[in-house]
C-alpha cells in the first residue's frame, strides 16, 4: 500500500470530520459563473471556494511556477473549473465529503542505471561521480562502476567525472527504465 495515498486519505477524512458537511456549499453539479483577471492560480482557487462555499485545501507551495490567469467561466461546474485551473500543473484533486483536497500527482519513476566505463579499455570505473543537475542529485558508482537513479519521465543531462578522465555530459530522454553505460575518455 502506498503510504502517500494512505496519508492523503487519512488527511481528507480528518478534514471531513473537522469541517463537517457544509449545507451551504454548492454540489459538484451546480453552475458557477466566475471571472479571473490576472490572478494567480491559488487566488483563483480561493475565489472559487468563496463563491461556491466549498472547502478547498492546498498549499501555495504547489503553485510556485504557475502563470497568472485571465479567464471567464460561465455556467460551469466546480469540477470543470478546478480541472481546467489545474490542467497545466502537476496537481490533482479529490473530494471527500465537503472538503476538496488538491495534491501533487504521484509521478511514475523510471530507473536509469548502468556502468561507468573507460572508453579505451572498456574497464569499469569504480567510484565515479555521476550527477543530474536538473534534479540536483549525484551518486558515486560502486566498486563495480555501477550507478543507479530513479527519475520521472523527462529529458536530462548526465555529467560524469572520474580522476584522470575528462568530465563528460550526456543528454538523455527517460520514458521508461533505461540501461545506459557511460564511457569516459582519459
Q: Are residues 78 and 157 in the same domain?
A: no
pLDDT tens for the 186 residues of the chain, in order: 444 444 554 554 454 445 444 434 445 668 899 999 999 889 999 999 999 888 999 888 887 777 788 999 999 999 899 999 888 777 889 987 778 999 888 778 899 999 999 999 999 999 999 999 877 889 999 999 999 999 888 899 999 999 999 999 999 998 899 999 999 998
Q: Are residues 97 and 121 in the same domain?
A: no
Q: Are residues 99 and 8 in the same domain?
A: yes
Report residue 25 as a C-alpha cell: 456549499
Q: Which of 70, 104, 138 is the last residue of a domain?
A: 104
Predicted local distance difference test score (pLDDT) of residue 7: 52
- The total number of structural domains in the chain stands at 2
Q: From CA 100, how far away is CA 11, in angstroms rounded?
A: 11
Q: Assign residue 10 the CATH number of its domain.
A: 3.55.50.30
Q: From CA 29, how far away is CA 76, in angstroms rounded?
A: 8
Q: Are residues 151 and 170 in the same domain?
A: yes
Q: Are residues 160 and 72 in the same domain?
A: no
Q: From CA 78, how far away is CA 48, in angstroms rounded?
A: 8
Q: From CA 178, how far away is CA 101, in angstroms rounded?
A: 35
Q: Are residues 76 and 26 in the same domain?
A: yes
Q: Which of 51, 80, 104 is the last residue of a domain?
A: 104
Q: Which of 55, 85, 104 is the last residue of a domain?
A: 104
Predicted local distance difference test score (pLDDT) of residue 19: 47
Report residue 52 as a C-alpha cell: 461556491
Q: Are residues 9 and 29 in the same domain?
A: yes
Q: Assign residue 119 the CATH number of its domain.
A: 2.60.40.1120
User: Is the separation of the CB atoms in 79 and 28 below 8 Å?
Assistant: yes
Q: Residue 122 — left, alpha, or beta (φ > 0 → left; ψ -120 to 50 → alpha)? A: left
User: Is the separation of the CB atoms in 33 and 73 below 8 Å?
Assistant: yes
> Could you tell me the sign of the dihedral formed by the alpha carbons of 120, 122, 128, 131, in that order?
positive
Q: From CA 31, how far away is CA 100, in angstroms rounded?
A: 17
Q: Are residues 98 and 113 in the same domain?
A: no
Domain that holds residue 130: 109-184
Amino acid at each position: 500500500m502506498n503510504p502517500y495515498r494512505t496519508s492523503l486519505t487519512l488527511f481528507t477524512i480528518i478534514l471531513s470530520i473537522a469541517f463537517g458537511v457544509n449545507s451551504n456549499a454548492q454540489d459538484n453539479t451546480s453552475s458557477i459563473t466566475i471571472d479571473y483577471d490576472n490572478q494567480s492560480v491559488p487566488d483563483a482557487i480561493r475565489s472559487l471556494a468563496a463563491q461556491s462555499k466549498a472547502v478547498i485545501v492546498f498549499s501555495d507551495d504547489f503553485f510556485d511556477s504557475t502563470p497568472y490567469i485571465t479567464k471567464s467561466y460561465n455556467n460551469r461546474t466546480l469540477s470543470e473549473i478546478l480541472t481546467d485551473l489545474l490542467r497545466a500543473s502537476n496537481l490533482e484533486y479529490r473530494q471527500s465529503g465537503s472538503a476538496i483536497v488538491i495534491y501533487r500527482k504521484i509521478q511514475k519513476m523510471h530507473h536509469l542505471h548502468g556502468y561507468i566505463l573507460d572508453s579505451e579499455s572498456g574497464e569499469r570505473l569504480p567510484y565515479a561521480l555521476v550527477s543530474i543537475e536538473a534534479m540536483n542529485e549525484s551518486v558515486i558508482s560502486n566498486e563495480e562502476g555501477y550507478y543507479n537513479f530513479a527519475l520521472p519521465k523527462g529529458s536530462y543531462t548526465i555529467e560524469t567525472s572520474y580522476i584522470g578522465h575528462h568530465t563528460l555530459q550526456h543528454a538523455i530522454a527517460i520514458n521508461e527504465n533505461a540501461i545506459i553505460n557511460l564511457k569516459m575518455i582519459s
